[in-house]
């Protein structure tokens, strides 16, 4: 994702993340980007899931860098359970990054109103698009 590169973050696919972990951001002085941080995403996840995970970890980098420490991992429960204020904030910013309100409105004006069509246009999952639309 270009935004990660622009922020100096390297993104890696990881094959050895635990079952309940979708991604993580961590200090990576050897292989991190200019920022010294890397984002790891589970290699077996779908492309759309990886996009949301990367956006979520970017949000943590922007909003909560001081809380990352050596590693901040996110599991699938955070996506549905929203266990902490920081996770809610990261999910909200990830949605803003991937599904900007202005772009959704433009697509709707052009006749793209079905959740499946909007999700396909923005390369996000249908559940993510449903949640986003519920807040608009």
Instruction: Report the mean per-residue pLDDT for the chain.
Output: 88
Share of the chain above pLDDT 90, in %: 65
**Residue 80 pLDDT:** 37
**Band of residue 19 on the pLDDT scale cut at 50, 70, 90:** confident
**Residue 136 pLDDT:** 85
pTM attached to this predicted model: 0.87
DSSP calls for the chain: -HHHHHTTEEEEEES---TTEEEEEEE-TTTS-TTSEEEEEETTS-HHHHHHHHHHHHHHHHHHHHHHTTEEEEEHHHHHH--SHHHHHHHHHHHHHHS-HHHHHHHHHTT--SHHHHHHHHT--HHHHHHHHHH-
**Residue 109 pLDDT:** 97
Please give the class, per CATH, of domain 2-98.
mainly alpha
pLDDT in tens, 74-88: 654 334 334 588 888
Domain ranges of the chain: 2-98, 100-136
pLDDT in tens, 26-64: 889 888 889 999 999 999 999 999 999 999 999 999 998
Q: What is the mean pLDDT of residues 107-125?
A: 97
């Amino acid at each position: 994702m270009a935004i990660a590169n622009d922020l100096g973050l390297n993104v890696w696919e990881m094959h050895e993340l635990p079952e309940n972990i979708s991604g993580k951001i961590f200090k990576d002085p050897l292989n991190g980007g200019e920022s010294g941080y890397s984002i790891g995403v589970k290699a077996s996840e779908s492309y759309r899931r990886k996009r949301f995970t990367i956006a979520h970890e970017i949000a943590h980098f922007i909003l909560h860098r001081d809380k990352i420490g050596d590693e901040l991992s996110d599991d699938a429960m955070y996506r549905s359970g929203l266990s902490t204020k920081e996770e809610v904030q990261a999910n909200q910013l990830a949605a803003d990054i991937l599904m900007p309100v202005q772009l959704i409105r433009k697509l709707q004006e052009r006749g793209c109103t079905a959740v499946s069509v909007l999700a396909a246009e923005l390369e996000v999952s249908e559940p993510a698009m449903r949640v986003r639309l519920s807040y608009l």
